[in-house]
Structure 1
Amino acid sequence: MSKQLLIQLAGLHSFGFALFHLAFWKLFQWPRALSETNVATRAVTQILNLRLIYVFAGAGAACLVFTDDLLRTPLGNALLGFMSLFWVGRTIEQFVFLRINRPLVHILTALFVLGALLFALPLLSG
């Protein structure tokens, strides 16, 4: 598989997570579920989710529009490494904070690992 294709797949992966996060209001029954907490927690939760959507959409767009730049420039390589570490961290946080033994949670964890690999593999020599 070419490095360019891996980066483009990383872009699709990012767009997929942007769409997934757009569904959080319905999936987690926000704002009803958040109404049980204080105003600050309710606001911060939703703001952080919106910022994640923005980051995922931006990373996805960068991967599809600037594929070669990501592969061939130091800044592009830094962004690929940053996003790979983002997904490594998210995978670790899954085990720390979301200790739910359900198949969908395990699938989600696998998708986090996939993200780490899709962003890291183009950085490997060869």
Structure 2
Amino acid sequence: MKELLNNPENLLIIGAIYHIAFVVFHLLFWKLFDWVEDLKKLSFTNKAVMQIMNLRLIFVFLVFAYISYFNGDELLNTKLGLTMTSSIALFWGFRSAEQIFYFGVKNIASNLLFLVFVFGTLLYSWVFFVGFNSN
């Protein structure tokens, strides 16, 4: 485990897989949450906004996965890369807090998602920490 934690390149590969999993999850939103029916209850504008935001999140997750997999050296050794890793950590940190704020703590599935989001926070915080200390 210590070897894994001290090898940020491997952690970034884990991060890429993590983000691809979110791409798949978000692509399934229409089916998982019965959006075809549920979104009919919204106004035209809100229905469009919900779907556009989900599609943009899918794009963001693809970008996070791509740069984590193909640009590890830059993420670890440049100011822009460190800004990016800290931003990804903050993205997941805020998402963790929002999970509790909006969904509470009484639902097991929600709590599991919270832990998944915390994992992303810790993963990219550690990558930032290792990269920051090596520069």
User: Shift of the alpha carbon at 1:100?
Assistant: 5.6
Matched, 1:110 2:124: no
Report the TM-score when normalising by structure 1: 0.95
1:61-112 Cα offsets, whole Å, 9 max, x none, are 1100111111111111111011100000001111111126222211111010
Q: Which runs of 4+ in 1 moved over 6 A?
A: none
* Bigger Cα displacement from structure 2, 96-105 vs 12-21: 96-105
After TM superposition, list the pairs within 5 Å mapping 1:29-68 onto structure 2: 29-68=34-73
Report the TM-score when normalising by structure 2: 0.89
Higher helix fraction (1 or 2): 2
After TM superposition, list the pairs within 5 Å mapping 1:1-126 onto structure 2: 1=4, 2-99=7-104, 101-124=106-129, 125=133
* Bigger RCO (CA 8 Å, 6+ sep): 1
Over the matched positions of the two proteins, sequence identity in percent amounts to: 33
Q: Name the Cα RMSD after superposition.
A: 1.2
